[in-house]
Structure 1
Amino acid sequence: MLLPSTPPLSLLLIIFLHNLPPYMEARPAPEFASKQLTETTASNYYHYHDHNRFLNSRRGSHVSGLSVIKKYFHYFGYLTSQDYDVSDDMFDAPLESTVIYYQSKLGLQVTGKLDFDTLSQILAPRCGVPDAGSSPTLHATKNYVYFPGKPRWARPIPMTLTYGFSPDNMIHYLSSSDIRKTFKRAFSKWESVIPVRFVETDDYGFADIKIGFYAGDHGDGEPFDGVLGILAHSFSPESGRLHLDAAETWAVDFEVEKSKVAIDLESVAVHEIGHLLGLAHSPVKGAVMYPSLKPRVKKVDLSLDDIQGVQSLYGTNPNFTFSSSLESDTSANPAVGSRFEPSLWAMSMLLAACVCM
């Protein structure tokens, strides 16, 4: 049977729609994360402002600026009631319940107050994907989490997924070669444990996974907020969109990039690929699917929690053995430190609260 020499109109329409950018109405970015501060202004503000003002506040406390904490919880899926007022500074019963849920969700000690560890976690730069997902799946002491409905790429196993880089939305202080090598390593982390192969393609429009660097409101309903704060976000299967905040100082080598706010590109890539495969945020602090990552920290090795979670969706790579992952899973987690180090994003959050008083 001969195919027509001119594609039918319906086929052309499908191709056109497939290549349109995913424009959506954006939900408001967090008010506390809207300023892009330089390292100098952040350093000066660090010495000027008492960033401990919220420390150990609890039910019944009235702390000036506490509303920004409520807005944080609302943005990341913890305070979801449409009737709740996030604009006041009272530590009320709903906020206490939210803090308890947040602490349990992220593997923190459950105290119901803004203790040292909880406040440190709130101030840490993080992934923009909300933490609300399906309930953790208990597996021994592990707690991997799926997106609601447990979505995955619905293709025969073993499967191949293609990925491409946006020709119009890249950063230029890193070479294209370095970015591509970094993502290849990130994809290989997941490829080594599941029967899924990731192949780069030059055909960005038809790639299964589309990667790009974007600033501010970029049309997907999830605007970026500038330096630190939200680092990147991606979407559950089979969306395939992986977006990184172009305002960050992305690094592929900390020996070369000396900025105090540099973010390791490979670490964030590994995390976001986990979302693309169907994993939500894990409460296990050593897992790459834990939601936060501090500047100048490299966290690229899958923990057993990550591995068990993704293998429960796709099965096991025949060449994979758990023994090769035991060492990285039991090592100390460098991404969650014991020092209280507010990010530039946190500084802008608190400064905005003071200015508005």
Structure 2
Amino acid sequence: MIMEPKFLHLLSCILLLFLLNPLPLFTHANSPNQLYTQESSGMDFLKTLVGTRKGTTSKGISQLKKYLSHFGYMNHKNNIILAHQTDDFFDDNLELAIKSYQTFFKLEVNGIMDANTITQMSPPRCGVPDSFNLNRSHELYLRIPTLASHYIFFPGEPKWPPTKRSLTYSFPSGAPTDVTNSILHATQIWASVSPFTFSYTPDYDQADIKISFQNRDHGDGNPFDGPGGILAHAYAPSDGRLHFDGDERWVDGVTPGAFDLQTVGLHELGHVLGLGHSNDTGAVMYPYIGDGLRKVLGQDDINGIKALYQF
């Protein structure tokens, strides 16, 4: 049977489109991958807050308070939510939180939602808090420049016990091969600068590190927020849970509009080992993680793991 020329032309066009637009590395079963754009991000509320300062009321401030509280910057007393914590009034506590945030990220410390502060807050990032000073006094907040000048640890400096230097990791059944390869490379990088070795096990339930893709509210009290916003989170030793947001577009490598699994995996494995966030932009433990790039460990990351495990 001879194909009609028009049909052959159509078939060629379809093949060309496929070659120019390859499928993403990973697509969550319940949620198609989506390119990150600022319009699709849960951080859109920031656009209305340019120039807001103490004493003003503006729509979106309550979301800002929630954001800063989640990442450890809002000051609580005895775990009781302070007055104006959930409304749209820019109070003293919010000003102090913004100053702490600006200090951590080496911005001008003015307590105002200026353009640079909004630009810093807008990109996708890890969901683990930057600061763990929720119950500390005003004075301690103002000392953050000293406390956060480099790598930090989780409260109490949790770490894997000395008898546990060989860690197993696993995925739920059905994880694509390319995903496992990305994480394999990330574990090899950490193994090269730490006292740990890592090995894959098919037994997900018994693995030391349990890696999975989750969507929205997934039962751990830290829901994801769809495309953009929070990309992933992990827990301090020796919990071992590491979750990627299944609504993101994940790839193995450098692709504009997509996030490199190896880079984000390297970051989250740092949390699994006990490292907090660094304000060194060259560190893989820096909390904001852009699309279309691959990072490797910086000297600050290496110094942090050596300081934590004393080797």
- Give the match for residue 112 of structure 1: 111
Change (3 A) 1:269 1:39: closer
- Give the match for residue 307 of structure 1: 302
| 1:178-327 equivalent positions in 2, closer than 5 A | 178-254=178-254, 260=257, 262-299=258-295, 301-316=296-311
> In 1, distance between residues paired with 2:223 and 2:45?
29
| 1:231 aligned counterpart, secondary structure | strand
Q: CA deviation at 1:76?
A: 1.9
Change (3 A) 1:220 1:100: same
The number of residue pairs the alignment matches comes to 265
CA RMSD in angstroms, aligned pairs only: 2.9
Change (3 A) 1:314 1:292: same
> In 2, distance between residues paired with 1:277 and 1:63?
40
Query: What's the % identity of the aligned pairs?
Result: 40
Q: CA deviation at 1:52?
A: 4.3
8 Å contact kept, 1:146–1:278: yes
- Partner amino acid for 1:145? I
Deviation track 1:282-315 (CA, whole Å, cap 9, x = no partner) reads: 121221111111222322x111111101111224
Runs of 4+ in 1 over 6 A off after TM superposition: 134-139
| 2:199 aligned counterpart, secondary structure | strand
8 Å contact kept, 1:226–1:245: yes
- Give the match for residue 160 of structure 1: 166
Q: Which runs of 5+ in 2 are unaligned?
A: 1-31, 134-142
Q: CA deviation at 1:42?
A: 6.2
8 Å contact kept, 2:215–2:245: yes
* TM-score, normalisation: structure 1: 0.67
Q: Which runs of 5+ in 1 are unaligned?
A: 1-35, 171-175, 317-357
8 Å contact kept, 1:137–1:145: no
Where relative contact order (Cα < 8 A, 6+ residues apart) is larger, the structure is: 1
* TM-score, normalisation: structure 2: 0.76
8 Å contact kept, 1:227–1:248: yes
Change (3 A) 1:44 1:272: closer
Task: Give 1:54's match in structure 2, choosing from 40, 45, 49.
Answer: 49
> In 2, distance between residues paired with 1:136 and 1:97?
12
| 1:282 aligned counterpart, secondary structure | coil
Deviation track 1:176-205 (CA, whole Å, cap 9, x = no partner) reads: 221111111111221111111111111211
8 Å contact kept, 2:193–2:302: yes
| 1:144 aligned counterpart, secondary structure | coil
Change (3 A) 1:154 1:137: farther
- Partner amino acid for 1:197? T
> In 1, distance between residues paired with 2:104 and 2:37?
33
Change (3 A) 1:160 1:212: same
Matched, 1:79 2:69: no
- Partner amino acid for 1:206? Q
Which moved further from structure 2: 81-90 or 115-124? Answer: 81-90
> In 1, distance between residues paired with 2:308 and 2:163?
12
> In 1, distance between residues paired with 2:144 and 2:200?
32
> In 2, distance between residues paired with 1:61 and 1:79?
18
Matched, 1:147 2:154: yes
